[in-house]
Every structure is written in C-alpha cells, then in structure tokens.
A and B are shown apart, each in its own frame.
Chain A
Amino acid sequence: EAQVTQNPRYLITVTGKKLTVTCSQNMNHEYMSWYRQDPGLGLRQIYYSMNVEVTDKGDVPEGYKVSRKEKRNFPLILESPSPNQTSLYFCASSLGHRDTQYFGPGTRLTVL
C-alpha cells in the first residue's frame, strides 16, 4: 500500500531533550516536506526537500533540523525542544514539488 508513515504518533517530552520524528514514504517520491499544524493557523511548512541531499527552509524552520540521506526517509530533528514546539506535525511527499502531496497520519508532540 502506498503510504507515508510517521513515528512516533504521540510523544511527550521535556524542554531541551533532543528528539527525532521519523518519516518514510514508499512511493519513490522526490519531494518531501514537514508541516506543523496549530489551532487557527492551519498548516505551516517547516522544511522541505526537493531530492536526496537537497533541503530548504519553509516558513517556520527555527528550532528544527532535517536530513535527506535517502529518498524514502526525511526525519525531523528537534535538538533542544521548547514548549512552543508543542504541535501536531505532518510529513508529506509528492512526486515533484508541484504534484499532489500525500500526508502521513501525524505526530502529536507535547513539550513540557
């Protein structure tokens, strides 16, 4: 089944404790992206990747890192999480950057 998977689905952590949210797609898509979703603000893009080893900042990149060492994986890294990063995070992928994006199920992160 073609899909985007994210792990973990739920995470509660404390300020400053490094964490990684994994994202994987099995559709051989070149474009991958991370979004955060907050009430009243819709989906805001954190980082995106046009292809392997190519990543760019989105609208809200501060406090996040990403890597794209393989085509299928695009992990989101929070080196020192803070409470304002408490949010619902979505990974998405598409064939190209102007193609339909397919979203993962989401990761709900709480930073205490």
Chain B
Amino acid sequence: GESVGLHLPTLSVQEGDNSIINCAYSNSASDYFIWYKQESGKGPQFIIDIRSNMDKRQGQRVTVLLNKTVKHLSLQIAATQPGDSAVYFCAEFSGSARQLTFGSGTQLTVLP
C-alpha cells in the first residue's frame, strides 16, 4: 500500500543551528500534508501544514517545503532550541481518503 516514510530516524543538532527533517511520501494523490511534534509523554501537537497547491509555507521559526516532483516534504526549524527536542512526524492526506497516514517519526535531539 501507499506509505509515508522518513529518511532518518534520528537527528542531532547544536543549539542555535537550523534543523531540517525530511519526509518521503509515495501517494501521488496526496494533497494535504501536516507536520506534528511529539514530546515525551505527550500526544502529537500540530506544527504546520501545507496543501499541494503550494511549495512553501512559513510559520514561526518553522518552514515546510513541498516538492511534488520527487514526492518529498521537509520541515526546517530555525535557531533550534532545547525545547524543540522531540519526535517529528509527517502525515499525508489524499483526496479520496478519510484518514491521515503518518510516517514513523524522526527523533530530534538538540545538543547544548
């Protein structure tokens, strides 16, 4: 079946550096993508989303890039802080589906 996956299961960055978390998806019909952050012991928390008619969207310190040609999604976090340490999930929604499909997650660790 269709799947959403991540290139790297773990990512370590120095505090203050920028982080880039990648996600590959395989369903070319997917038209809505979401990034979630999950801190230890908590439920996933919405960060930012993007629809397929866009290739970039910016939030506060976060930017999501969508490359539909290669079916790739990335989350960029500027000036990474210790509070950004968490697992990050990408999720996709296809037009006909009534459910989100989640990737397996990337553990981001911010080093002092």
Would you give the shortest CB distance from B14 to chain A, in whole angstroms? 27
A interface residues, how many (CB within 8 angstroms): 25
The residue of chain A having its C-beta at the shortest distance from the C-beta of B104 within the complex is: A42
Q: Shortest beta-carbon distance, B5 to chain A, in Å?
A: 9
**For chains A and B in complex, what number of residue pairs have CB atoms within 8 angstroms?**
46
Counting chain A CB atoms within 10 Å of each CB, the highest count among B32, B43, B45, B98 belongs to B43
CB distance from B46 to the nearest CB of A (A): 5
Interface residue from B43, B99, B104 paired with A48 (Cβ < 8 Å)? B99
Per the bound structure, the CA–CA distance linking A43 and B46 in Å amounts to 14
Are the C-beta atoms of B44 and A45 separated by less than 8 Å?
A: no
What sequence of 0s and 1s flags, for each residue 66-95 of chain B, a beta carbon within 8 Å of any chain A beta carbon? Answer: 000000000000000000000001010100
Give complex CA distance A37, B91 in Å.
14
B11 at interface, CB cutoff 8 A: no
Q: Which B25-54 residues have C-beta < 8 A from chain A? A: 32, 34, 36, 41-46, 49
Taking Cβ atoms with an 8 Å cutoff, the residues of A that contact B are 4, 33, 35, 40-45, 48, 50, 56, 58-59, 90, 92, 97-98, 100-106
21 A-B residue pairs with Cβ-Cβ distance under 8 Å, sorted by A, are A4-B43, A33-B99, A42-B89, A42-B102, A42-B103, A42-B104, A42-B105, A43-B44, A43-B89, A43-B102, A48-B99, A50-B98, A58-B99, A90-B43, A97-B99, A98-B32, A100-B46, A102-B46, A103-B44, A103-B45, A106-B43
> Knowing that A42-B102, A48-B99 are A-B contacts, what are 5 other residue pairs whose CB atoms are under 8 Å apart, sorted by A's residue number?
A44-B102, A97-B99, A103-B36, A104-B43, A105-B43
